[in-house]
Amino acid sequence: MSNYDYPKHFHMELENNENLLGRITVFMDREKFNVEVDIVFVEGRKIFKHVKQGYGYEDEQDAVDQGVTILSKYLSSLKH
């Protein structure tokens, strides 16, 4: 894979909210993968809330998995 294949965006529907989505963006930096996690508006995909970034993952799937974990922990923290 080359850096030209990135960034890749993965969108996740949020329970009980039809106006927002979770977005996981994977970037490639040299040989490592980085992830950015945001909450975005459905229309226009503009950022509503930047959640967190993660760096230095060995492969794309690991970066995506970590992004899902970050998003899940963030959403769980809002319920309490």
Residue in 41, 6, 44, 43 with CA at minimum distance from that of residue 22: 41
Model confidence band, residue 2 (pLDDT cutoffs 50, 70, 90): low
Biggest distance spanned by C-alpha atoms of the chain:
41
> The whole model's pTM is what?
0.89
| pLDDT per position as a tens digit, 6-41 | 999 999 999 989 999 999 999 998 889 999 999 999
3-state secondary structure of 19: strand
